[in-house]
Structure 1
Amino acid sequence: MASQLSPGPDGDKIVRRKLSDQVLARLRELIRAGELKPGDAMPSERALMERFGVGRPAVREALQSLHNSGLITINHGERSRVNEITAGTVLDRSDEIARLLLDSVPSNLEHLKQARRMFELGIVWLAAEKATDDDVAALRELVAHQRALLGTDAVPFIQTDMAFHARIAEIVGNPIIAAVSVAMLRWLFEYHTALLHWSGKEDVTLAEHERIVDLIEAHDAEGAVATMRDHLDRSLDLYARSDGPTQPGG
């Protein structure tokens, strides 16, 4: 007597993949394997059609998917080119998703602030251990530039503040850490800064920045962490949810 199979879940069904999805998978593999390198021109649509034995619509849809994911750049009238993929380019493409995440769940802003605090304390410890004279000089130049912006529009002051913290992350020498640091700063400042006007604490911020640089120069990791902790505990309290990117005075 033949055994009876009970109906399986939908996952048992064999689904025929779209031709464009198959082309996309093959192109991704060519990029991953290095056959198509950053800066290389993509093969022509006709060459891809002949190589994979598919029609033009499947090729065009696959190329558009690669473009949307940032793996290639399509310029009309020119050959598409393979992009260099870095931690920064990957995180740049997540900005809109991050904004939706932060706007949809209010508690996520607090989670982001906590993550940035923990992340930056680790960064400044390593920066204090690794900083060179050139690193210290670059940080002092940013503090001086930020001080020169007192009394002007708030946005450049805040952008220089971001640059200061990003420069500390660069000292670590890890491109993923640097990219994540910039991304978190961007999400906080661009999308959830309620105070793009003077908070009355600019002089305090500058003094804290100068103290942090002094401690980094002295390779005092513990002191740099303690000062950065106080700085972040004060400044992160200024961030609050907003309905979108805020304008000066908003």
Structure 2
Amino acid sequence: MVPLVMTKTELWPREVAHRRHGGGCGETDRCEGFQTFVEPDSLAEPLCGAVRPGHFRRVATVVAKLFNIVQPDFAFFGQKDFQLRAVVRQMVQDLNLAGEIINVPTVREADGLCMSGRNSYLGPSGRRRALCLSQALFAAESAFGQGERGTRTPVKLAVEHMADVNQLQYLELRDAATLQRLTGPISQPAVLCVAAYVGATHLIDNLVLNPSSMEIGGVERGLLSAIPGTGEPLPLRS
């Protein structure tokens, strides 16, 4: 095995005219000497795409460059980055890129907080307040597990737990395959997504509600069975 070593500018062209917008990269960003980008469509529009214009355009372009260079057999993406994984999977399918996209279920701390490198930026108070994200999702999951199939009640219950964040960017229930907004009863896999600032730290989390399975959620809350359009759980190999 030969390691691939690339500089930041080789993989991600130098940014000029950079504009910060909602914590993400602006649509007016330009990269010196770089004129070709991957432009995701509807999967990149809601949720993080709505509050971070241009973010998935950049991510998709960088991942496409990486895949073209290394020609992977498999690429593993965490469920925590649900929308990113959906965008990359669609890109791989549409552009006939190498690599099968594999879902890695979310790993949580003992108290439910979604594991993330950004947790290190949270002080003791912020760490306690950050728990409201997972608690919000679990409240919705509990109602769903008791038979609630409406789209408003899970979101309403989740919002009631979000008082400890400094800024709630979004808390939305979406179709797990298309990321379109759900309007009727939950009759197919749905994903409840949340993004918020706790202090200056940006956190995201999500939970899949699958009406076809008694076990819903992530690690130690029931591994998801295969869901068309969303990928398989991490396969266990001997």
Query: Shorter chain as normaliser: what TM range?
Result: 0.3 to 0.5
Computing the radius of gyration over CA atoms, which structure comes out larger, 1 or 2? 1
More RCO (CA 8 Å, sep 6+): 1
More helix by share: 1
Query: Normalising to structure 1: TM-score of the pair?
Result: 0.31
